[in-house]
Chains A and B, each alone.
Chain A
Amino acid sequence: MFPTLKRVIKSGWLSFRRNGMLSVATIFVMVLTISLVTSFLLLQGISNSLISSLEEKVDVSVYFKKDAPEEEITKIEDELLRIPEVKNIDYISRQQALDTFVEKHKDDAQMMESLKEIGENPFLASLNIKAWQANQYEAVSNFFENSTSKDILEKIDYFQRKPLIDKVFSISSFLKKFGIGAAIILGILAILVTFNTVRLAIFNHREEISIMRLVGASNWFIRGPFIIQGMISSLLSVLITLVIFIPLSYFLSPKLLTIVPDFNLFAFLRSNFGTLLLIQILVGIGIGFFSSLIAIRRYLQV
Chain B
Amino acid sequence: MIKFQSVTKNYPPNTVALDDISFEVKSKEFISIVGKSGAGKTTLLKLLLAEEEPTQGRVFFDDQDVHKIKKSKLCFHRRKIGTVFQDYKLLPFKTVYENIAYVLEVIGVNDKDICSQVPDVLDIVGLSEKADNFPQELSQGERQRAAIARAIAHRPEVVLADEPTGNLDPYNTSDVIKLLMKIHEMGTTVILSSHNREVVNSLEKRVITLEKGKIIRDEEKGRFFL
Q: Which residues of A contact B (CB under 8 A)?
A: 3-4, 7, 14-15, 18-19, 208, 211-219, 221, 301-302
Question: Given contacts A216-B103, A216-B107, A217-B106, is CB(A211)–CB(B91) below 8 Å?
Answer: yes
Question: Given contacts A3-B110, A7-B105, A301-B71, is CB(A216)–CB(B76) below 8 Å?
Answer: yes
- Residues in B with CB closer than 8 Å to A18 are 93
Bound form: Cα–Cα A224–B94 in Å: 16
Q: Which residues of B contact A (CB under 8 A)?
A: 49, 51, 71-72, 74-79, 81, 83, 85, 89-94, 102-103, 105-108, 110-111, 150
- Residues in A with CB closer than 8 Å to B107 are 216
Bound form: Cα–Cα A212–B71 in Å: 14
Bound form: Cα–Cα A18–B51 in Å: 29
- Residues in B with CB closer than 8 Å to A208 are 91-93
User: Is A4 a contact of B78 with CB atoms below 8 Å?
Assistant: no
User: Is A215 a contact of B51 with CB atoms below 8 Å?
Assistant: no
Q: Closest Cβ of chain A: how far from B161's Cβ, in Å? A: 14
User: Is B102 a contact of A215 with CB atoms below 8 Å?
Assistant: yes
In the complex, which of the residues A212, A216, A301 contacts B79, with contact meaning CB atoms closer than 8 Å?
A216
- Residues in B with CB closer than 8 Å to A217 are 75, 102, 106
CB closest chain-A residue, reference B109: A3
Q: Closest Cβ of chain A: how far from B152's Cβ, in Å? A: 12
In the complex, which of the residues B72, B90, B91, B106 contacts A216, with contact meaning CB atoms closer than 8 Å?
B106
Question: Given contacts A7-B105, A19-B93, A208-B91, is CB(A215)–CB(B78) below 8 Å?
Answer: yes
- Residues in B with CB closer than 8 Å to A14 are 93-94
User: Is B83 a contact of A215 with CB atoms below 8 Å?
Assistant: yes
- Residues in B with CB closer than 8 Å to A211 are 89-91
- Residues in B with CB closer than 8 Å to A214 are 49, 51, 78, 83, 85, 89
- Residues in A with CB closer than 8 Å to B74 are 213
CB closest chain-A residue, reference B101: A7
Q: Closest Cβ of chain B: how far from A100's Cβ, in Å? A: 77
- Residues in A with CB closer than 8 Å to B105 are 7, 221
Question: Given contacts A208-B92, A212-B91, is CB(A3)–CB(B111) below 8 Å?
Answer: yes
User: Is A216 a contact of B75 with CB atoms below 8 Å?
Assistant: yes
- Residues in A with CB closer than 8 Å to B72 are 218-219
User: Is B106 a contact of A215 with CB atoms below 8 Å?
Assistant: yes
Bound form: Cα–Cα A211–B77 in Å: 15
- Residues in A with CB closer than 8 Å to B150 are 215
